Chains A and B, each alone.
Chain A
């Protein structure tokens, strides 16, 4: 691996590695490129044989159609549902994590129960949740989806934030207590600022989980609160797929994620592995 006695050999290896890196990146990004390109194509270009790799010009009529037909409301719905549920899960989850980390509330059993909640397959929960939601009239509304996503994200938030909170030096909190702050103030004025990187990273992932969810949204939305993945599947219709709409909607639904993830790049690894790497 780390060989290279001669500079020439070193240079050759580096060049080979760049070549490999370039090929791998091209392979993995080509589908994303293709998606973006279709979203800029005219219908003639989309249904051209053989397929065109570069559109004649960048034009936005496919996006304009989404706005004109009001389909973008699905993006708005996703933003509301994912945003609000991420916010609630972060606040409630971090408070809970603080109690678990500092007071050992419920002991190891409670912590294990919480993480086991994350292992439950969505398909096993979605059906009973649907039955109960029908009973309480929560189907096809913001509240029902937000409640569900909050619940599904809580174990993740608690697990992650517990790890971050344990890392906050105890002396810091103690000296704040001595200075006359009460616990509640310590949590908000000392702990929350200290774990801000963790909070940011966890928020992004919580948002992404809710944003990308399809199964719950498919079952629990009808016409009023359609989220963007569900809207996307409405365009699949046997042989007559609305390719232009599929591509444009996919891009719109992917951009917020790209932005969030590129801002949070540094914290990605720990978040994505549920803190597994750090142990």
Chain B
């Protein structure tokens, strides 16, 4: 082989100049597309919306002059906004502990091995993966006063016809929403807690059993501390989801009767897409972001402390 031939062969094996450039910049090149999309769809609209929130754009006026904190000041006078935050808080405060409790009880039921357990778990997960709109629609059919089975079952047990307009009657709309929400998301808690419970140190449990410790004592001293981090994460995930609850309520009550079950997400939607209060909606959006950031930070802080 002549010298030039061997140089040629070596050239071919070595990456081209372009190839080397590509190789050197690879870490940044493969990060770029994802970050670009995130900036484009995540950050850019937020910045735009921040600017809009200091202007005075409504359905009828396109006034782009800056009005300072006017929209934000208005937030404090908006009773319907605070009512909607209250509704969101009520739903979260009731549904979250219920989901956690039911999920925990379900996990306790399935923690020990038994034949066919996998099938039960697979079936129980179904409500969680269904679209929330479908969940809402399903319960709307279930709750129907004439053609739904809930009234029928209640009548059977009451021994007399029970006629409850679940999605319209002010006393029953919240139970209806919470039943649907708890039905859909308890299995989520169940799944997480089942995984957490099966990671609890078995030797500790056995030692406690030999010592004759009561079930409640074992629960308090060994099980709960062991699964506390998972409970915290589960509550954080579900809590954030509950604060922005929209779909189920849209399907069940559409915020009604009146605006009785209007949550913050529904209210924001109404302001933005039926009142077209562009600037004001932008201000609400930032209130929501601020609230969620505060909640998340507080929860994460507490988790850090607990560790």
Contacts and interface: CB of A to CB of B under 8 A. Distances in A.
Contacts of A18: 114
A83 interface: no
Given A21-B109, A151-B42, A254-B134, A1 B120 contact: no
A28 B246 contact: no
A1 B218 contact: yes
Contacts of A226: none
Nearest to B134: A250
Interface in A184-240: 184, 187, 208, 211-212, 214-215, 219, 228-229, 232-233, 236
A183 B286 CA distance: 42
A47 B205 CA distance: 54
A122 B244 contact: yes
Chain A interface residue number, banded: 35 or more
B37 A17 contact: no
B188 interface: yes
B72 interface: no
Given A92-B33, A125-B42, A233 B133 contact: yes
The SS class assigned to the B binding surface is helix
Contact of A272 (B120, B188, B244, B272): B188
Interface string B93-131: 000000000000010111110100010101111111111
B292 interface: yes
B133 A232 contact: yes
Contacts of B126: 28-29, 32, 258, 261
Contacts of A53: 149
A120 B47 CA distance: 13
Contact of B48 (A2, A100, A105, A128): A128
Contacts of A228: 131
A148 B41 contact: yes
A66 interface: no
